[in-house]
Amino acid sequence: MSSKISEKYALPVSPAVVEMQARDRLTPAQLGRWAAFGVGVIVLLYYSAVVSEIDLVELAEGGSTMGEYISRYFPPNFSDWSSYLTDIIETIGMGIWGTLLAVIVAAPLSILASANLCPVWIVQPTRRILDAMRAINEIVFALVFVVAVGLGPFAGVLALFVHTAGILGKLFSEAIENIEVGPIEGVRATGASKFQEILFGVIPQVIPLWISYTLYRFESNVRSATVLGIVGAGGIGVSLYQSFRSFDYTKVCAILIILVLVVGVIDAASAWLRRRFI
């Protein structure tokens, strides 16, 4: 009886709803494609684990050895703190100039690499240039520039500059390609030139993202500058490498603590700048 009453007073289902439900159902072909995709992902992960020689058992067995090794780093030795302070200031300077030069170059390159602003015959070659700059690690660039300009922080600045320009150029161009076209059309309606369209219609929209990306890359460049010292490109990385080579792990620990503190301060300052200006 109750079922008959419910059927009597049931609301009719709209044909549009029925069509939508039918459209949302996966067809056998779609199920097959998703299954093939899942199998492909599993095979890829397994193969990657094999070539990477991932062995959790070996990691567990080496845990005690790692603990004994880490204990050699304590207590940290800050006896050369004044030298470390000079080195860390040099490292920050490398990060500042490497990032600044990268922004100066990345900004125009990002415009040329944006498909919504430039023709394909300009966009594609520019993107390949950015790919090349981004694909080569800073250490490789540092090795090249050490030969060109000699040992010291200038080689590190140049290495950071080239690599970071490739990264920021890519990020800047993606920001440009996601802008609203309305402001550009408004500027164009006034009879503005192409340069004025970019200056008044594009740049104001992407400046917040550009600043955010730049601050993040500056923080990353300070970290990267510490590694460049291994190849003689200046900064606190030189002291870090020398301490490692002499097995003076307590000084290594002191340098690492200083690096963590400096990166933390830079991160806090970057967060404040984002809140203040973005």
Alpha carbon distances (Å) from 194 to 34, 176, 221:
46, 15, 34
In this prediction the pTM is: 0.78
**What whole-number distance in Å separates Cα of residue 152 and Cα of residue 186?**
50
**What whole-number distance in Å separates Cα of residue 182 and Cα of residue 195?**
17
Contact status, residue 184 vs residue 210, Cβ threshold 8 Å:
no
Q: Where are the domains of the chain?
A: 14-71, 81-277
Q: Which of 169, 23, 34 is nearest to 105 (CA)?
A: 169
* Mean pLDDT (whole number) for 13-34: 66
Rg (CA), the chain: 28
- Could you give the count of Cα atoms lying within 13 Å of 82 in the half-sphere of its Cβ? 0
**What whole-number distance in Å separates Cα of residue 257 and Cα of residue 75?**
11
pLDDT digits (tens, 9 = 90+) for 162-219: 999 999 999 999 999 888 888 777 877 887 788 888 888 888 889 888 988 998 899 8
pLDDT digits (tens, 9 = 90+) for 40-67: 999 998 888 888 877 777 777 666 677 7
Q: What CATH code is assigned to 81-277?
A: 1.10.3720.10
Q: Which tokens hold the place of 200?
A: 């008044």
